[in-house]
Structure 1
Amino acid sequence: MKEHIPSRVHPAASLLRGAAVLGAAAMVSKLLGVLQKVPLQNIGGDEAFGIYSIVYPFYTLILFLATAGFPVAVSKFVADSVSVGDTAEAGRILRHASIFLSITGFIFFAFLYFGADLIGTWIGNRHTVPAIQSVAFALWFVPLMSVLRGYFQGMQNMIPTAVSQVWEQLLRVTAMVVFLYYTTSRSMSSDMVAAGATLGSAVGALTGLLVMLYYRLKEKRSIRLSSRNHLDVMKEKVHPPLSSVQLFRKLMAYAIPVCLGAVVVPILNIVDTFSLPRLLAVQGFSEQQAVEQYGVYARGLPLMQMVSMLFSSMSVAIVPAIAESKAKKDWGGLSSRVGNSLRISWIIGLASSAGLALLSMPVNVMLYKDAVGTWTIFLLAWTIAFSVLNIVTSSVLQGLDAVKIPALHLLAAAGVKVLLNVLWVPHFGIRGAALSAVLSFVTAAALNVIYLARRNYIQIRFKDDLWKPIASTVVMAAAVWGWKEGVDYSMGLIWPDLSARVTATAVTLTSVLMGALVYGMALIKLGVLNRDQLNMIPLIGNKLAAKELK
């Protein structure tokens, strides 16, 4: 009701706007992230790319442990405090979380930097040691940056997070390319090339932190100015303030289950980090060859992660929005938010999987110069739909305070990944690892959806929610396949001497545009989305909604 939110944007509008802002920032930052891996593979080679791809999931795991779920907890409790007008408590939450995570960041930095030799032994590849040490420096900056992002997200102000994401990634990519050219121009080993690439993460993290500190200082100046000009600013606390110990316990009680859930996501990648080199050895690969094979396997990961990271950023807006609806007992708004978020994620994820699978060959040649590992990319493409669905359903469950459930479901998925890697990688190599990744994400997403359905948070209508999106995807796939083959054949006739990479680029980009157009039309014609849901789609949603009304 309006009287509960007198100075804030309506919750539904806030969710859509916040999701759109973060989604756009994620698209830009993840595109930069994918682009950084292209020169790394092109210039550094598959071995350096393999080392980087082995180390980075381990760093991500350590990062989740260092932040311990606090950013999500800060977002949730700041949203709760602000919804009842207790902005002072929101500030205390930020201060306590900042102190704690600054300490944990330095502890985990020491673990990575001074324990790099031991970690390299655990992984089974000592070529990773320099890269592990260089990426450790990012832990000086990322934890505090993450807390500040959580604070502003809890205030339902997504602009600081969006801006810092873009600047972080831009400086990270720039630094990585500079270090890449520096190390390769001096004919350094693949170990040092990969270390230079991972050092870019620290440069990006420092940039992101500085941006967040700028917004925090700007906010504090605004609050001081408001206090001087308005004597009627609320000074009365809604509830008696918690002691520092009580507040810390409250944060920990929520953050630890969230951390466990978040940690399992990189654990799915860590399974590959620790198992693939050893399991590939069963096929007769040497240590260096195993790293190169991992590099080929990793070609598909940035493409898969691009869409997944888009929804990871958008889902950040879901947690405080759903928590707010639940706190105000706005069950209609809660149901609408949950249903729309899940439906949009499934529709976009499914189309992205099908599109990447169909275009796996030209995409591979366009980005990585040759077609090695195309079948692996084809298989990994199908993780997108279920990874996206898992991300969004996990965020919904966190907003509903069911923070342990995603963790348990992801642990089950990690178990599936381990088992299938052991069974399939010795026989099918990196293709076995790709297929096991698909089935592990299917497991996690399905368990989350079943949990929500059994508790009546969502209602699954098989015709509208399953068959119509699949039918729209089939129509799109047919159009993309026909267009791809036609463009490839035509360019071969008209420009027979054109390089394979240029041809693949033209085929990929035009096919993506054709696929988006046909998919949008199919969604409208089959009535898959209503006007509100169309408006949620970034960039093209408003145009699709206008067409749907005609």
Structure 2
Amino acid sequence: MKTFMKGAAMLAAAGIIVKLLSAVYRIPFQNLVGDKGFYIYQQVYPFIGIMTVWTSSGFAVALSKILADRDRSEAGGIMRIAFLYLAVLSGLSFLILFAGADIITGWMGDRALAPLLRTGAAVLLLMPFLSVLKGAFQAHGKMGPVAGAQIAEQAVRVTVILAGTWIVISAGASLYAAGRAAMWGTVAGELAGVLLLFFLFGKWQGRPDARSRTAVPVWPVAKELTAVSLAASLSSLILLFFQLIDSFTMFNLITASGTPREAAMEAKGVYDRGQPLVQMGILIASTLSLTIVPLVAAHTGKKSGRTAEPFVQLAWRIAFLFGWAAALGLILVMPFVNEMLFETRSGSGALMIFSLQIFWLSLILPLTAVLQGLGRVKWPALILFAGLALKAAANVLLVPGLGIAGAAIAGNAGFAAATAGLVVYFKRIWPVRLADNRFYKTIIGASILMAAVIVPWMLLSDIWLFDGLPSRLAAVLTGLSTVAIGAPIFLGAVAKSRILSEKEWYLLPGGRRLAALQLFLNQDKKGSGPNE
């Protein structure tokens, strides 16, 4: 268990770094290219993101599971089947995106995006190498190379995207050329990951022998690869599918309502400012899925000792607590964060609505991960895609009249419906009480207290305290000071109420400090929390 948790913690740490880099680079990128340039990049990114997440992440997990479950003599055959299967899948996807780029971008309403789609499609040709190598390392518990490759991929990708974009923009080229340079950054990042894994695989003394000729049936391996890979990457894929729906519908719907093309592009770019903010907001939920969920899996089905139930309850309460805190905090400070990061306050109302998605996604991620650990994949997938269908329908109904605010409402409707469906389904197969009424009342009370303090502070800062300073500097000072005031108030109220015990805080990354704060605030109380 110690080795298992150490490997999980290593991947969790790498996952945090990767997701943080993935969110953060979009901010300087938007500052370089503006809202129209951001629209150009975000229109194409979901296509590439869906395939890379499914193959490089989901297939790697699936392959590692199959290799770990089978006899070592079969490893070579399984790896060859996986590689050939992925080569066919990636090759076909590449051909569809490359040859059909004009048709696909025509459906999106902007054929000038076709060169970007063709460039980004090249990354798919690297996926078989990346997935098989990652899967081989993970199957033998060697998480270091996998974590290193993930960080290398993202670091190279971000560096090439920002440097390439700056060079193109400085040379006076078009925003579409800048978007194409950004797509090459994705290709460069994946290539860096492949090269690093090849190097480490060559130095691995106990590596599986890919030349082994032990016969392995093809169909069972291919079937399991497909099922497990989709299950493992489902929660990450659903966010990208929501973005894909926006790519196909928003620009067409906005222009159809009479908005000029340039203005529609900029409006979609403003809307896309919410993507990195949501990604940063769900970091805690993503980390939770990678740290708490393995504990759930390890304790599920135990006949004696500690069962999985306390870990399921903890996963829910932590996801709810920090998902709501992140969403509410961002909603309250959005005008200042918007200007601080993206230069203007354009679309702040729509982005406030958009930010509520952090809360729904924070609940969806651990729920789907726990259900996956229980072997429940079909119904969660159907529920998530029902939410996706609702998002698409709501876009058609709301975007023509409400613009980007309508798309933000539609996104929340889809995610909220998916969350409700997952909770109902989860309760049917595991009738556990996830949290008591006191927990929810405490969250409401802490939220009201935080809002009552920071809203007057923001108004005072914006109107009087930082008046006279450059607008963006004033937004920086107001935004950061508000966070510095609001976060301790919210966490202090939560710690004082003791809705999580000190032992539970200790299970979380960085939880030691919050446990210490809770002990300090409750020195006069006896006992050690609600779940002791």
TM-score normalised to structure 2 length: 0.87
Other-structure match for 1:182 = 167
Which amino acid is 2:259 matched to?
F
SS at match of 1:361: helix
1:510 aligns with 2:481: yes
| 173-182 or 205-214, larger mean C-alpha shift | 205-214
SS at match of 1:372: coil
Other-structure match for 1:194 = 179
Q: Which of 175, 199, 224 pairs up with 1:250?
A: 224
Other-structure match for 1:366 = 340
Per-residue CA shift, 1:431-481, capped at 9, x if unaligned?
A: 010011112111111211221122226323341443323333333333433
Q: Which of 93, 97, 111 pairs up with 1:112?
A: 97
Cα separation, partners in 2 of 1:90 and 1:313, compared to 1, 3 Å: farther
Other-structure match for 1:228 = none
Other-structure match for 1:407 = 381
1:343 aligns with 2:321: no
CA distance in 2, matches of 1:448, 1:343: 16
Other-structure match for 1:396 = 370
Contact kept, 8 Å, 2:337 with 2:475, in 1: the verdict is yes
Contact kept, 8 Å, 1:364 with 1:370, in 2: the verdict is yes
Deviation of the 1:294 alpha carbon: 0.7
Contact kept, 8 Å, 1:25 with 1:162, in 2: the verdict is yes
Deviation of the 1:55 alpha carbon: 0.9
Other-structure match for 1:235 = none
1:48 aligns with 2:33: no
Deviation of the 1:400 alpha carbon: 0.9
Which amino acid is 2:182 matched to?
A
Other-structure match for 1:305 = 279
Deviation of the 1:515 alpha carbon: 2.8
SS at match of 2:308: helix
Other-structure match for 2:513 = 543
1:471 aligns with 2:445: yes
RMSD of the TM alignment (CA)? 3.1
1:5-404 maps to which residues of 2 (within 5 A)? 8-9=1-2, 14=5, 20-63=9-52, 69-77=58-66, 93-94=78-79, 96-150=81-135, 152-153=137-138, 158-218=143-203, 220-221=204-205, 243-255=217-229, 263-308=237-282, 311-312=285-286, 314-316=288-290, 322-326=296-300, 332-404=306-378
CA distance in 1, matches of 2:250, 2:343: 24
| 378-387 or 28-37, larger mean C-alpha shift | 28-37
Which amino acid is 1:381 matched to?
S
Other-structure match for 2:505 = 534
1:434 aligns with 2:404: no
Per-residue CA shift, 1:214-245, capped at 9, x if unaligned?
A: 44445x32569xxxxxxxxxxxxxxx996454
Deviation of the 1:326 alpha carbon: 4.0
Deviation of the 1:380 alpha carbon: 0.9
Contact kept, 8 Å, 1:261 with 1:403, in 2: the verdict is no
The alignment of Structure 1 onto Structure 2 pairs a total of residues equal to 515
CA distance in 2, matches of 1:9, 1:423: 52
Per-residue CA shift, 1:391-425, capped at 9, x if unaligned?
A: 11111111111011221111110121112111111
SS at match of 2:181: helix
SS at match of 2:205: helix
Cα separation, partners in 2 of 1:519 and 1:109, compared to 1, 3 Å: same
Cα separation, partners in 2 of 1:155 and 1:514, compared to 1, 3 Å: farther
Other-structure match for 1:229 = none
Deviation of the 1:549 alpha carbon: 3.4
Deviation of the 1:332 alpha carbon: 4.0
Contact kept, 8 Å, 1:66 with 1:104, in 2: the verdict is no
Contact kept, 8 Å, 1:76 with 1:319, in 2: the verdict is no
Other-structure match for 1:4 = none
Deviation of the 1:212 alpha carbon: 3.6
CA distance in 1, matches of 2:140, 2:296: 13
Q: Which of 434, 437, 459 pairs up with 1:460?
A: 434
TM-score normalised to structure 1 length: 0.84
Cα separation, partners in 2 of 1:449 and 1:214, compared to 1, 3 Å: farther
Deviation of the 1:353 alpha carbon: 0.1
Structure 2: state its 5+ residue gaps: 209-213, 521-532
SS at match of 1:359: helix
Cα separation, partners in 2 of 1:24 and 1:249, compared to 1, 3 Å: closer
Cα separation, partners in 2 of 1:177 and 1:205, compared to 1, 3 Å: same
Deviation of the 1:325 alpha carbon: 3.9
1:448 aligns with 2:422: yes
Other-structure match for 2:526 = none
CA distance in 2, matches of 1:90, 1:478: 60
CA distance in 1, matches of 2:121, 2:481: 40
CA distance in 1, matches of 2:55, 2:428: 34
| 325-334 or 45-54, larger mean C-alpha shift | 325-334
CA distance in 2, matches of 1:65, 1:390: 18
**Percent identical:** 32
1:417 aligns with 2:391: yes
Which amino acid is 2:324 matched to?
L
Structure 1: state its 5+ residue gaps: 1-7, 225-239
